[in-house]
Amino acid sequence: MYVLRMVKDMLVGIEKPTITVFGIAYKGDIADTSGTPAKKFIKLAEKEGTGLRFITRL
């Protein structure tokens, strides 16, 4: 919740901001997202109605 609050504070004044989450699968070369710490952030952001994008590979 702390990180989401900090990010949202940075976005104040931007109309319809979207947060991009990089690296949801935190294990190298594995697309497994189970157990990722990003899930909690994503759920909190969705609950607050924040726009989200996801990039798992660069």
Give this prediction's pTM: 0.69
Overall average pLDDT of the 1-28 stretch: 86
H or E, element range at 43: helix 38-47
pLDDT in tens, 47-57: 988 899 988 76
pLDDT at residue 38 in the model: 84
Please give the Cα distance from 31 to 16 (Å, whole number): 29
Please give the Cα distance from 56 to 54 (Å, whole number): 6
Find, among 57, 48, 56, 55, the residue nearest to 11 by Cα. 48
Overall average pLDDT of the 9-32 stretch: 82
pLDDT at residue 28 in the model: 67
